[in-house]
Amino acid sequence: MPFGTGPGNVPVELYTLVNGELSASVCTYGGALVRLLVPDRHGAAEDVVLGYETLDGYLADQCYFGALVGRVANRISGARFTLDGREYALDRNHGAHHLHGGGGGFHAKVWGAEPGEGADGPFLTLRCESPDGDQGYPGNVAVTAVYTLLADGLRLDLSATTDRPTVVGLTGHAYFNFSGRMDRDCLDHVLTIRGQRYLETDAELIPNGKLAGTAGTPLDFSTARGVGERIGEPSEPLAAGKGYDHCYVLDGHGFRSVATVEEPGSGRCMELFTDQPCLQFYSGNFIPDGLPGKGGTVYGWRSGLCLEPQGFVDAPNNPGFPSLTLVPGDEYRNTILYRFFTK
* Residue 55 resides in a domain: yes
Q: What digits encode the pLDDT tens for the residues 34-58?
A: 999 999 999 999 999 999 999 999 9
pLDDT of residue 198: 98
Report DSSP state, residue 58.
H
Q: What digits encode the pLDDT tens for the residues 165-186?
A: 999 999 999 999 999 999 899 9
pLDDT of residue 258: 98
* Residue 245 resides in a domain: no
Active-site residue list? 173, 308
- Pairing state between β 171-173 and 67-69: antiparallel
- Give the range of the structural domain holding residue 76, as residue numbers without chain letter: 2-183+281-342
Sign for the pseudo-dihedral over CA of 295, 301, 305, 311:
positive
* Residue 285 resides in a domain: yes
Q: What digits encode the pLDDT tens for the residues 92-106?
A: 999 999 999 999 999
pLDDT of residue 6: 92
Main-chain dihedrals φ then ψ at residue 59, nearest 5 degrees: -65, -30
Radius of gyration of the chain (CA): 19
Report DSSP state, residue 77.
G
* Residue 102 resides in a domain: yes
* Residue 311 resides in a domain: yes
**Per-position DSSP letters for 266-320, written without gaps between them:** T-EEEEEEESSSEEEEE--TTPPTTEE-GGG-EE-TTS-BEEEEES-TTGGG-TT
pTM of the model: 0.97
14 contacts 26 by C-beta, under 8 angstroms: yes
CA-CA distance, 221 to 198, in Å (whole number)? 11
pLDDT of residue 290: 95
pLDDT of residue 302: 97
* Residue 256 resides in a domain: no
pLDDT of residue 174: 98
Question: CB neighbours of 313 closer than 8 A, spacing ≥ 6?
Answer: 74, 75, 199, 201, 207, 247, 278, 280
Which whole-number Å values give the CA distances from 331 to 32, 237, 325, in the listed order?
Answer: 23, 34, 11
pLDDT of residue 196: 97
Q: Which residues of the chain have pLDDT under 50?
A: none
pLDDT of residue 72: 98
Give the CATH number, domain containing residue 68. Answer: 2.70.98.10
Q: Is the peptide bond before 71 cis (omega within 30 degrees of 0)?
A: yes
Report DSSP state, residue 90.
P
pLDDT of residue 96: 97
Which whole-number Å values give the CA distances from 113 to 3, 128, 235, in the listed order?
Answer: 13, 9, 44
**Per-position DSSP letters for 225-263, written without gaps between them:** EETTTSTTS--HHHHHHTS-EEEEEPSSSSSEEEEEEE-
* Residue 225 resides in a domain: no
* Residue 18 resides in a domain: yes
* Structural domains in the chain (count): 1
Q: 257 has which bridge partners?
A: 273
